[in-house]
Amino acid sequence: MARLTLSVPAGTDNNVTMVAQQELVVIFEAALAVLVADGASPTQAHVTTANNAYTNVKAVWTGAVVVDYDRASITNSGLIDQAMRALTAQMKNVR
């Protein structure tokens, strides 16, 4: 499943942040897939690679708002706009 994750901490360039985070998520997903393929006996190198990738992704997400969606299901910007409006409305109710 293709994923696009966008996390935008205050004061950052949204486009640069989105691309950087997409790359971190792809790296983590690849490392996790290698661990799954290893089965019951993953190598220490594979575990370390996955852990480092996860640590990088987690560090980016800390204190940020994360929006994640399945690009295979969301096929046009109108659906994204609609979902973001609904999310924003829900977030306003939380305050």
Give the number of domains in the chain: 1
Evaluate if residue 10 carries a pLDDT over 60: no
Q: Report how far residue 35's alpha carbon sits from residue 76's, in angstroms, rounded to the nearest whole number.
A: 34
Q: What pLDDT, on the 0 to 100 scale, is given for residue 1? A: 36
Evaluate if residue 37 carries a pLDDT over 90: yes
Q: Higher pLDDT residue, 45 or 19?
A: 45
Evaluate if residue 3 carries a pLDDT over 50: no
Q: Whole-number mean pLDDT of the chain?
A: 74
Contact partners, residue 68, CB within 8 Å, separation at least 6: 3, 4, 5, 6
The gap from C-alpha 2 to its chain's centroid, in whole angstroms, comes to: 11
Collapse the DSSP code of 76 into the 3-class scheme (helix H, G, I; strand E, B; otherwise coil) and give the result: coil
Residue 45 lies in domain: 3-94
Q: What pLDDT, on the 0 to 100 scale, is given for residue 74? A: 75
Q: What pLDDT, on the 0 to 100 scale, is given for residue 6? A: 47
The torsion defined by the Cα of 86, 91, 13 and 67, in degrees rounded to 10, comes to -60
Q: Report how far residue 50's alpha carbon sits from residue 48's, in angstroms, rounded to the nearest whole number.
A: 5
Evaluate if residue 68 carries a pLDDT over 50: yes
